[in-house]
């Protein structure tokens, strides 16, 4: 009696007596392989009863008893303690341990999650199962892919055919001829991943539930990235930021925005306020707060102290009545006041006559993020030079301010120390002194 070449079903010889015997044996094997569900993997044949007829076991690597010498075969219970055997071929699929697996040249490998609805072999396509989004512009991309990921997760998380709900696994996977994964779509509680395996090097794009996009676990944007996002004076209690884009460290993504206007602000007198871009849900917004920025988290980029979901973009100062001091920010990012500078808070030194190195604090006119100032230096003495330096610098005189008498006044760009201060002194006692007025500053952000 011969057997069929693929499954090994027994065939009937011509004029065979009792043809029902090979026919029934073939039907039992065909019944088993039509939808292979392996109830267990074992080395030792279990005790069986009539209720076990039809159950299929995968024989493990060290079989004993009636299964001896049949490692890797499928054992079909045909009657209590009686077995028929199938030798699976590369390419066969079976439900093993509650998951779909495919036999490759290296053994059984998982190819999908749950009932295998989402398994995809090379060249196959998946159609009609989910409502794929249409993306009309780059601005739609994150929202559309996030919604698509949630559709996938809704289908994937629900257990099917009496199986437990799945929490992570392949939704769609492409395999090579040996059943090795070439990549696909993977879902877990965080979101959806597009995975590619090329030359045994794995790469992935993660589409997280909160809208982030990560490439191999990192944002594709430089962490210190900022473009535009400049402040505009819009009135005594109003400010506008934008247009522009910037990276937000807490969100691990970059956001793009048009002008964001904040009006009707209730501000305290003579106070520094700091402006932060953040995501209000999924919409970029601006927070105006007295909480100072943190130290730079990379380069000169800063976030709000204690809150990395806020990206620092600039600072404003109020006058004695609580109104925003008028200003303009140039395309180079330099901040310039549009008010008279010959009085507080912009005049930081008045008629200074120190003959030893003395420190002038500029913090009333420059925020904590300022790295240098734009000053009007007025040496009103008629004959003695004033000397300018940075606190902590070895040289006591880095820049000389020429005497100018009644016509004194030089516009100077000069660095400050980390506390927004400069040093000055006269080499001999002057008759008249030095005035330091802040007209603008540069800042790190």
Q: Are residues 117 and 211 in the same domain?
A: yes
Cβ–Cβ < 8 Å for 397, 432: no
Residue 136 has a CB neighbour count (10 Å cut-off) of: 9
Q: For residues 214 and 216, what is the distance between their CA atoms, to the nearest angstrom?
A: 6
Domain that includes residue 353, residue range? 335-443
Residue 420 has a CB neighbour count (10 Å cut-off) of: 23
Q: For residues 387 and 395, what is the distance between their CA atoms, to the nearest angstrom?
A: 10
Helices in 228-357 by DSSP H: which ranges? none
- In-domain check, residue 85: yes
- In-domain check, residue 103: no
Q: For residues 262 and 237, what is the distance between their CA atoms, to the nearest angstrom?
A: 8
- In-domain check, residue 9: no
Contacts 24+ apart (CB under 8 A), 343-347: 345/270, 345/317, 345/319, 346/437, 346/438, 346/439, 347/435, 347/436, 347/437, 347/438
Q: Are residues 316 and 350 in the same domain?
A: no
- Give the model's pLDDT for residue 277: 98
Give, rounded to a whole angstrom, the gap between the first and last alpha carbons of the chain: 84
Give the three-state DSSP class for 310: strand
- Give the model's pLDDT for residue 186: 81
- CA distances to 191, 232, 239, 262, 377 from 330, rounded to whole Å, are 41, 10, 15, 20, 22
Question: Would residue 23 be called left, alpha or beta, if left means φ above 0 and alpha means ψ between -120 and 50 degrees?
Answer: alpha
- In-domain check, residue 94: no
- In-domain check, residue 67: yes
Q: For residues 328 and 21, what is the distance between their CA atoms, to the nearest angstrom?
A: 97
Q: How many CA atoms lie within 13 A of 66 on its CB side?
A: 15
Q: Are residues 315 and 340 in the same domain?
A: no
Q: Are residues 391 and 433 in the same domain?
A: yes
Q: Are residues 235 and 210 in the same domain?
A: no
In order along the chain (445 residues), what is the average pLDDT of each group of 10 residues? 62 69 71 79 94 92 94 91 89 85 86 41 36 42 56 52 61 75 80 81 79 74 91 97 94 91 97 97 96 95 97 97 96 92 94 97 97 94 95 93 83 94 96 96 91
State how many domains the chain has. 4
- In-domain check, residue 11: no
Tell me the chain's radius of gyration from C-alpha atoms.
Answer: 38
Q: For residues 359 and 366, what is the distance between their CA atoms, to the nearest angstrom?
A: 15
Q: Are residues 300 and 349 in the same domain?
A: no
Q: Are residues 342 and 415 in the same domain?
A: yes
CB neighbour list of residue 342: distance below 8 Å, 6 or more residues apart: 435, 437
Q: Are residues 339 and 439 in the same domain?
A: yes
Last residue of a domain, one of 259, 291, 325: 325
Q: Are residues 346 and 423 in the same domain?
A: yes
- In-domain check, residue 366: yes
Q: Are residues 61 and 118 in the same domain?
A: no
Q: For residues 181 and 167, what is the distance between their CA atoms, to the nearest angstrom?
A: 20
Q: For residues 36 and 32, what is the distance between their CA atoms, to the nearest angstrom?
A: 6
CATH code: domain of residue 357: 2.60.120
Q: For residues 286 and 265, what is the distance between their CA atoms, to the nearest angstrom?
A: 12
User: Read out DSSP for 159-218?
Assistant: --TTPPPPSSEEEEEEE-TTS-EEEEEEEETTEEEEEEEETTEEEEEEEETTS-EEETTB
Last residue of a domain, one of 184, 215, 246: 215
For 377, the enclosing helix (H) or strand (E) is strand 370-379
- In-domain check, residue 361: yes
Q: Are residues 424 and 342 in the same domain?
A: yes
Q: For residues 138 and 282, what is the distance between their CA atoms, to the nearest angstrom?
A: 16
- Residues 317/320/323/328 CA torsion (nearest 10 deg): -40
Extended beta strands in 299-368, E state: 303-304, 307-317, 327-329, 335-337, 347-352, 358-361
How does strand 244-248 pair with strand 272-280?
unpaired
Q: Are residues 118 and 207 in the same domain?
A: yes
Last residue of a domain, one of 303, 325, 347: 325
- CA distances to 122, 195, 355 from 184, rounded to whole Å, are 11, 5, 74
For 247, the enclosing helix (H) or strand (E) is strand 244-248
- Give the model's pLDDT for residue 82: 92
The vertex-351 CA angle with 346 and 353, nearest 5°, equals 130
């Amino acid at each position: 009696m011969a057997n069929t070449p693929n499954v090994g079903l027994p065939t009937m010889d011509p004029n065979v007596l009792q043809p029902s015997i090979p026919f029934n044996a073939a039907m039992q094997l065909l019944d088993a392989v039509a939808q292979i569900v392996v109830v267990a993997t074992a080395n030792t044949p279990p005790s069986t009863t009539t209720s076990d007829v039809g159950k299929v076991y995968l024989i493990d690597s060290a079989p004993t008893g009636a299964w001896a010498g049949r490692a890797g075969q499928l054992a079909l219970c045909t009657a209590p303690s009686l077995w028929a055997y199938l030798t699976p071929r590369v390419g066969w699929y079976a439900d093993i341990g509650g998951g779909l697996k495919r036999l490759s040249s290296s053994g059984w490998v998982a190819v999908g999650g749950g009932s295998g609805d989402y398994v995809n072999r090379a060249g196959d396509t998946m159609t009609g199962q989910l409502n794929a989004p249409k993306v009309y512009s780059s601005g739609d991309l994150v929202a559309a892919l996030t919604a698509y990921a949630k559709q996938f997760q809704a289908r994937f998380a629900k257990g099917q055919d009496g199986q437990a709900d799945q929490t992570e696994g392949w939704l769609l996977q492409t395999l090579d001829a040996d059943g090795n994964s070439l990549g696909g779509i993977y879902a877990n509680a965080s979101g959806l991943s597009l995975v590619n395996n090329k030359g045994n090097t794995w790469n992935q794009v993660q589409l997280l539930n909160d809208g982030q996009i990560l490439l191999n676990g990192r944002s594709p944007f430089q962490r210190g990235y900022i473009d535009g996002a400049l402040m505009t004076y819009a009135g005594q209690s109003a400010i506008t930021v934008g247009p522009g884009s910037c990276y937000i460290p807490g969100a691990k993504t970059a956001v793009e925005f048009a002008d964001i206007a904040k009006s009707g602000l209730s501000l305290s007198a003579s106070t520094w306020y700091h402006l932060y871009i953040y995501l209000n849900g999924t919409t970029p917004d601006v927070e105006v707060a007295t909480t100072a920025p943190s130290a730079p988290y990379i380069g000169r980029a800063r976030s709000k102290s204690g809150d990395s979901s806020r990206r620092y973009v600039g600072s404003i100062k109020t006058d004695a009545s609580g109104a925003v001091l008028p200003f303009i920010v140039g395309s180079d990012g330099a901040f310039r006041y549009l008010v008279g500078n010959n009085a507080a808070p912009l005049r930081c030194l008045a008629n200074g006559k120190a003959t030893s190195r003395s420190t002038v604090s500029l913090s009333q006119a420059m925020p904590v993020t300022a790295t240098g100032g734009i000053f009007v230096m007025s040496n009103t003495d008629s004959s003695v030079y004033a000397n300018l330096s940075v606190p902590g610098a070895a040289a006591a005189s880095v820049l000389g301010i020429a005497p100018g008498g009644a016509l004194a006044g030089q516009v100077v760009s000069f660095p400050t120390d980390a506390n927004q201060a400069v040093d000055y002194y006269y080499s001999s006692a002057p008759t008249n002194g030095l005035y330091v007025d802040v007209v603008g500053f540069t800042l790190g952000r």
